[in-house]
């Protein structure tokens, strides 16, 4: 499962969503994953442009769920 959000130039994670349609049991698990992710610290390091200024960016996270339990989160 992949979830994504925007990391703002202030280092906040906002607009969490699934980049593709998720239904049924996977949607329920995804909702639980969002609850966990939203509790993560809100002190992300923002992206920078070529001039070194902080900019908003999209972050995708790969979530692995096995047997109905969160196994790991990969942030590239």
At 51 the pLDDT is 97
Which of the four pLDDT bands, split at 50, 70 and 90, describes residue 74? confident
Model pTM score: 0.73
Residue 49 · residue 55 · CB < 8 Å:
yes
Let me know: does 74 contact 62? Beta carbons within 8 Å.
Answer: yes
- Cα–Cα distance, 30 to 52 (Å, whole number): 35
Cα–Cα distance between 8 and 56 in angstroms, integer? 4
Of how many residues is the chain composed?
76
Domain count, the chain: 1
* Choice between 5 and 50, residue whose per-residue pLDDT is larger: 50
**pLDDT class of 70 with cuts at 50, 70, 90:** low
Q: What is the pLDDT of residue 49?
A: 97
Helix (H, G, I), strand (E, B) or coil at 27: helix
Which residues are registered as beta bridge partners of 67?
A: none
């Amino acid at each position: 499962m992949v979830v994504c959000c925007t990391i703002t130039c202030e280092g906040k994670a906002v607009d969490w969503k699934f980049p593709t349609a998720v239904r049924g049991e996977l949607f329920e698990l995804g909702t639980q994953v969002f609850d966990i992710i939203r509790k993560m610290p809100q002190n992300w390091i923002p992206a920078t442009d070529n001039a070194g200024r902080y900019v908003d960016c999209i972050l995708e996270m790969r979530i692995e769920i096995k047997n109905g339990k969160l196994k790991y989160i990969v942030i590239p």
